[in-house]
Structure 1
Amino acid sequence: MTSGRVTVYFAALLARTEDGWEASDTELDDVETLADLTDLAREASVDDDTVLAFIEQEDAWFGVVRVDGEEDPRIYISDAAAAARSSYGEILLTDELLGRDPDDDLDRLVDLDGTEDGEPEEDEEDSVDADEPVPPGPIGDSEILDDLGMSEKQLVVLDSDALGTIAEALGCVDVLEAVR
């Protein structure tokens, strides 16, 4: 018998329309990259209006991805270090968001003497590079919801029931709760 704790995620898409917000519960099983998530958000869009993708792991962290038409997605994550320990968090923690140069990873792959001196190989599941730790706390565009009714100051202090608080500020708590 296992006493391991099951990690609970919640993900939803909120699409802005002429009549307000429309929410849909979303499955992230087929989402492997930020591009996949962005495509999913664009499919939910009405007339290239704003779509917000919410991802929450219990009370550990939450992320908001904002897609406005064909523009690059904007991302906010409440706790980067907690998200780095999550497969869904890893989708959002892009090299650009973390301020990393993706070519650095390529340089490490080309370096052939990485394990010759008896250094243990890094676990494949351990995605965080010891040389570049993911910072704890918020990361990304903290002004992501400013024009929608939630200020940066309000966003960065959220912890428990963050998505409910965001939905309340956006005026769509009933719509979000319907898919929760």
Structure 2
Amino acid sequence: MASNTFSAAFVRTKDGWSGAEVDLGSAEIVDDLADAVAETLALAGDELALLCVEVEDEWFAIARYTGEEEARVFLSDAHAVMADTVGELFAEFAGVAPDKEANGLGVRPAGDFELLADLGVSAEELLELSMEEGVLPADILSVIAERLSFADELDRLR
């Protein structure tokens, strides 16, 4: 995993959100991401959990886990993720075929754009944030965390 990677998971409880840093260094398959989140947060099974990953100024991803429901993911840039193992896992998760030749085509978000719509961040807003030129992934995640009310937890972990 790239040394400039930050990953943290957040679980929504009746008292608000709580979070913990997640080590994705040993993740080899997409299911390992969910296992790392469940283990780190000690999930009981039906909670809403979000995994937020940012790789310096390259890309970010948000994965959503809710009990037995199918996991969902949003990836800010399908091109940028091909540089490391964790990125390749997120590309696979988002259903993006690796295309190492297409790097210069600009930002290309992928995955589930409606991922956070029921929590207050619409698909349009998520895409707009992701494609805003000159804005770093860390800043975008901070805006999203603020909208979803776990900014304090995110700041504490950074």
TM-score interval, smaller chain: 0.7 to 0.9
SS of aligned partner of 1:12? strand
Partner residue in 2 for 1:35: 31
Matched, 1:146 2:117: yes
- Cα gap change, 1:128/1:141 in structure 2, threshold over 3 Å: closer, same or farther? same
1:21-32 mapped onto 2 (5 Å cutoff): 21-32=17-28
**Equivalent residue, structure 2, for 1:90:** 88
SS in 2 for 1:154: helix
What displacement does 1:151 show? 1.2
The one of 62, 67, 70 equivalent to 2:68 is: 70
Cα shift at 1:41:
2.1
CA–CA separation in structure 2 for the residues paired with 1:59 and 1:129? 19
CA 1:177–1:162: 2 relative to 1, 3 Å? same
Q: Structure 2 CA distance, aligned partners of 1:129 and 1:149?
A: 34
**In structure 2, the residue corresponding to 1:156 is in which secondary structure?**
helix
Counterpart AA for 2:81: A
RMSD value over aligned CA atoms?
2.2
Report the count of equivalent residues. Answer: 146
SS at 1:48's partner residue?
Answer: coil
Which whole-Å CA distance do the structure 2 matches of 1:78 and 1:96 have between them? 10
Q: Using the alignment, how far apart are the partners of 2:58 and 2:128 within structure 1?
A: 14
Rounded Cα–Cα distance in structure 1 between residues aligned with 2:120 and 2:44: 20
**Cα distance in 2 between the residues matched to 1:177 and 1:96:** 26
Residues 5-42 of structure 1 deviation map (CA, whole Å, 9 limit, x = unaligned): x8511100011111110110111112122100011223
C-alpha distance in 1 between matches for 2:37 and 2:53 = 12
Partner in structure 2 of residue 173 of structure 1: 151
Q: Which has the larger radius of gyration?
A: 1
For the pair 1:8 / 2:8, whether they are aligned, the reply is: no
Listed as ranges, the gaps of 5+ residues in structure 2 are: 130-134
**CA contact 2:74–2:94 (8 Å) conserved in 1:** no
Where 1:80 maps in the other structure, the secondary structure is coil
Residue number in structure 2 paired with 1:109: none
Contact 1:42 1:69 in 2 (8 A): no
